[in-house]
Amino acid sequence: MIEYAVVGSGIGGSSIAAYLDAKGHKTVLFEKEPYLGGCSSTFEHAGFSYNTGATTLAGYEEGHIVKSHFDALRLNPDLIRTDPAIVIIQNGKTTPRFSDFESFLGVLEKNYPHPKNREFWMLIHDLGREFYTIHGHYYSNRDSWRKLISLTSFLPMLVKFQRYLRTNAYDFIQDFYGDISEEYLHFLEAQIFIVAQAHSREINFFTAALSLGYTFNETHYVPGGFGALFDKMTENMKDVRRNTEIHKIERNTDHFTLHTKDKIIKARKVILNSTVYDSGKLFDDGMVKNYYKKYETLNNHQSSFMLYMTIKSTKQYEHHYQLIQEEMYPHAISNAVFVSFSDAADNVFCGKGHYSITASIHTDSRWWNDKGTYKDQKEKLKSQMLKSICDILDINEIQIVHLFAATPRSFKRYINRSQLGGNAITMKNFLPKLPANDTPIKGLYHVGDTVYAAQGWPGVMLGVDNLKRLLHV
Ligand SMILES: Cc1cc2nc3c(=O)[nH]c(=O)nc-3n(C[C@H](O)[C@H](O)[C@H](O)COP(=O)(O)OP(=O)(O)OC[C@H]3O[C@@H](n4cnc5c(N)ncnc54)[C@H](O)[C@@H]3O)c2cc1C
């Protein structure tokens, strides 16, 4: 019997599986797709390679969670530093988010002058730094007592940052600046939304500060496609089963039985990397189903619409752009598109003289269920995104050698989820209400962006770290 069955190879699944295996635990990693990484994977389409969703690695620097985990695995990935982490373009104003404070502030002052800018951004900068110096907090959901005790571990953080946790980010920013232009507010809002996955009115200022400040940390580009990182992370694992979907899981007294299409596997413990919204479907067991049902209301149905394209170009592009326009895009819940380019010298990922581009915008997964309107909606949003990207980034349509769009339904078909970006930590849905990495069901655990501590590399890795602690490994 295996000790740990890890279902899903996203950031959470691959990281914990590689760690458990390296520690000598008999572990099997199951992934339904041929490639590893889920939202952070790389796939091929008609001979062209694309990053599925994630394109920025944040948190790989001394003292940060991602680097500590990679170090524990003796994983020394080949990375390219990205600075600026992102270039924001709004109404013809270009603002690179340089990691160097003064360089960033210099451009910001030109584009959005305000006497309070320095003080505001210094606060953002400092809050980000201080957050990562606080250790020892963890979160358990095993039973009420353990949950309560774990919540007390956050007290030092609550005390230190209470001023920024009490108020929603929108009000805090308005109060701080006194007067603020709509344009600058949109500039802040768009950046908050891509990281926090929620708007400034829904989250506290502390969360907004961490979202606005990630670019002051080191960010990296992964050569060869993001998926290369997962191949490297799991290369020493003894048992990785790709193309293996787990269809059903049964709970027995001291183990679980996992069903693939043609095999039955027994495992003492199961770690699910599927979302809390999709995991209940794996079980017939009433107790487990009820556990997941409790979290259905957290599902904000937020998702992504994607445009993947390969262009031929000799122009030098930055790695990441955020293009903010005045109007919302059709069938989207945002006015901003995030566009990532492959590195010009990364000819493993993309042919010489070409760029692989992954562009995304937020949408609502429920808007893509009607077969009657699906095609038209897809075409409309695709052409609007394409027009903005080509106009703003000076791409001529004849340079495009390959292009296609993907919807929340595509995500469901391939990586088994349509809610993307995980559970946003909002003023309404804060820690005691969120699922943890353990569950009240003996031997059943979770990792990923719908459980503690939310999305992206730093968020999911905080959850992996939490899970290591809960498993005592
Ligand atoms: C468009 C977009 C852009 C993003 N950009 C960034 C970015 O630049 N930087 C960043 O840090 N984050 C980014 N994120 C967020 C980040 O990608 C996610 O938060 C993170 O990748 C989620 O990891 P996870 O561990 O939850 O696993 P997931 O990515 O959800 O992966 C789960 C895996 O489990 C597999 N699976 C599910 N069910 C089964 C089953 N029954 N059997 C077998 N396998 C199964 C799936 O196929 C999938 O591979 C982005 C997200 C999106 C959607």
- What is the pLDDT, as a whole number, of residue 70? 97
- What is the pLDDT, as a whole number, of residue 375? 98
CB 186 within 8 A of CB 43: no
Give tens-digit pLDDT for 375-403: 999 999 999 999 999 999 999 999 999 99
Q: Ligand 1 mean position to 455 CA, how many Å?
A: 9
Question: Strands 87-90, 320-324: parallel, antiparallel or unpaired by DSSP?
Answer: parallel
CB 356 within 8 A of CB 223: no
Q: Ligand 1 mean position to 298 CA, how many Å?
A: 18
Give tens-digit pLDDT for 270-315: 999 999 999 999 999 999 999 999 999 999 999 999 999 999 999 9
Return the domain boundaries, the chain. 2-78+225-298+421-471, 84-217, 302-415
Q: Which residues contact 4 (CB under 8 A, 6 or more apart)?
A: 17, 20, 25, 26, 27, 28, 267, 268, 269, 270, 271
- What is the pLDDT, as a whole number, of residue 430? 87
pLDDT, average across residues 215-240:
97
Question: Strands 219-221, 80-82: parallel, antiparallel or unpaired by DSSP?
Answer: antiparallel
Distance (Å, whole) CA 16 – CA 183:
42
Please, is 6 exposed, middle or buried when counting C-beta atoms within 10 Å of its C-beta (0-12, 13-18, 19+)?
A: buried
Helix (H), strand (E) counts: the chain: 14, 19
Length of the chain measured in residues:
473
Residue 313 is encoded by which pair of tokens? Answer: 């170009």
CB 203 within 8 A of CB 192: yes
Residue identifier of the C-alpha nearest atom 10 of ligand 1: 456
pLDDT, average across residues 369-379:
97
CA dihedral 122, 128, 133, 137 (to 10 degrees): 140
Is the pLDDT score of 424 beyond 90?
no
pLDDT, average across residues 341-355:
96
Residue 89 is encoded by which pair of tokens? Answer: 């373009």
Please state, as a whole number, how many other Cβ atoms lie within 10 Å of the Cβ of residue 471: 18
Is the pLDDT score of 135 beyond 90?
no
Q: Ligand 1 mean position to 324 CA, how many Å?
A: 25
- In sequence order, what E strands does 242-343 have? 248-251, 256-259, 264-272, 302-312, 320-324, 336-341
Residues in contact with ligand 1 (CB, 6 Å cut-off) = 7-13, 30-33, 38-40, 53-56, 58, 245-246, 273-274, 304, 360, 415-417, 420-422, 447-449, 455-457, 460
- The predicted model scores a pTM of 0.98
What percent of the chain shows pLDDT beyond 90? 96
pLDDT, average across residues 223-242:
98
Q: What mean pLDDT, rounded, does the chain reach? A: 97
Phi/psi of residue 186, nearest 5 degrees: -65, -35
Question: pLDDT category, 319, cuts 50, 70, 90?
Answer: very high
- Domain 2-78+225-298+421-471 has what CATH class? alpha beta
Residue identifier of the C-alpha nearest atom 6 of ligand 1: 54
Residue 86 is encoded by which pair of tokens? Answer: 């992102």
- What is the pLDDT, as a whole number, of residue 472? 97
Sole residue written with tokens 């979770």? 446
Give tens-digit pLDDT for 82-117: 999 999 999 999 999 999 999 999 999 999 999 999
pLDDT, average across residues 3-31:
98
pLDDT, average across residues 239-261:
98
Please state, as a whole number, how many other Cβ atoms lie within 10 Å of the Cβ of residue 45: 12
Calculate helix-pair angle for 169-177, 205-213, nearest 10 degrees.
80
